[in-house]
Chain A
Amino acid sequence: MTPGSTVESGDDQLDPLTIAERWMLDGREVAVATVIETWGSAPRPVGSHLVIDEEGNFSGSVSGGCVEGAVISEAADVIASGEPKMLEFGVADETAWRVGLSCGGKIQVYLERVG
């Protein structure tokens, strides 16, 4: 490699927003989920992303794997309607969601369609 040249780093392969852009250019429908707020010992910090396509393929994370399934199923609705959604997950949150964070935290996730 020549000095000063830029290459796609290994980081880009795992970067959700870079992946979202790539999927978009491939003509796939994409939703972006973002951690907006956390309370207690939430596993992923505010600003973390999970990106999902219309077939349920996903990359990144908004929790340590606790609530991704629920976010992915909601993403299908958001992709279809184009309306953003605010999701909340917490400990023993049985009423709204059948999933919770095992670590005892609480998170708010904003889900929006790209385009």
Chain B
Amino acid sequence: MDPHLLKKLNEARRARQAVIMLTELADGRNRLVKKGDPVSGELGEAVEKAFRTGKSGAVEAEGQRFFFNVHVPAPRMVIIGAVHISQALAPMATMAGFDVRVVDPRTAFATPERFEHVELTADWPEDALKERPVDAFTALVAVTHDPKIDDWPLISALKAEAFYVGALGSRKTHARRVERLTEAGLSEAEIGRIDAPIGADIGAQSPEEIAVAILAQVIAALRKPSQSRKD
């Protein structure tokens, strides 16, 4: 592998660009293809398919055997609330491969000291998420308990069809949340996508255990989308 290509590959991955490292298995030659780069013929078709499916694998094209290593951007996790649970969840989710961001307008909570090595924004979600809105590849985890902070990102995540939407709160708190979101015009089906009570049912008690439960449910939503619903 050309050291220059390794550098380029890592740069693209850090910039959240979809790229394929192509290796000609007969002679070991590598080539880096970015999404949108023109590649002609049979190989081009294979490249297009690999970007579409996101699957790495061996490919026969133009009489050669290639290996395509497809690198697609990591799923994102946006955590609303710089609370104790988030202090545990942010590093755990980062380690599991998520691109994590914590947002909380309360500057007493959102301090760099409490969130070392985590991308932290001390602003309202409406403003913080303006440039990089929640998309289908995002898990939205709302854990402030405060409707003023949680409701807007919950609504925007449901509308954007984020692959996971979870909200912390007791059944009573959630019942009130359902009422507010219904008033805001969301359908029963949309509201029903919210994971509440949040996280996999493992009897979690401490903030760290709750973080594990949330991360487990987020991974289930990512990897087994049709089976991850608890209801």
Which chain B residues lie closer than 8 Å to A10 at the CB level? 91, 94-95, 117
**B interface, over-half SS:** mixed
**In which size bucket is the chain B interface?**
35 or more
Which chain A residues lie closer than 8 Å to B28 at the CB level? 83-84, 112
The smallest C-beta distance from B193 to any residue of chain A, in angstroms, reads 27
Q: Does A34 contact B (CB under 8 A)?
A: yes
Q: Which segment, of A13-21, A62-70, A88-96, A98-106, faces chain B?
A: A13-21
CB distance B58 to A3 under 8 Å? no
The contact of A21 among B7, B57, B100, by CB within 8 Å, is: B7
Q: Does A40 contact B (CB under 8 A)?
A: no
The contact of B123 among A1, A3, A46, A84, by CB within 8 Å, is: A3
Which chain A residues lie closer than 8 Å to B91 at the CB level? 10
CB distance B6 to A36 under 8 Å? no
Q: Which segment, of B31-39, B67-75, B178-186, B199-207, faces chain A?
A: B67-75
CB distance A47 to B3 under 8 Å? no
Q: Does B174 contact A (CB under 8 A)?
A: no
CB distance A113 to B95 under 8 Å? no
CB distance B128 to A11 under 8 Å? no
Q: Does A114 contact B (CB under 8 A)?
A: yes
Residues of A in contact with B (beta carbons under 8 Å apart): 1, 3-11, 14, 17-18, 20-21, 24, 32, 34, 36-37, 45-47, 83-84, 86, 110, 112-115
Q: Knowing that A9-B117, A10-B91, A11-B94 touch, tell me 14 more A-B residue pairs with CB under 8 angstroms.
A: A3-B120, A3-B122, A3-B123, A4-B119, A4-B131, A7-B117, A11-B95, A17-B6, A21-B10, A46-B56, A83-B28, A110-B23, A110-B67, A114-B6
Chain A to chain B contacts (Cβ below 8 Å), 17 pairs = A1-B112, A3-B121, A3-B122, A3-B123, A9-B100, A10-B95, A11-B94, A21-B3, A21-B10, A34-B67, A36-B58, A36-B67, A46-B55, A47-B57, A110-B25, A110-B67, A112-B23
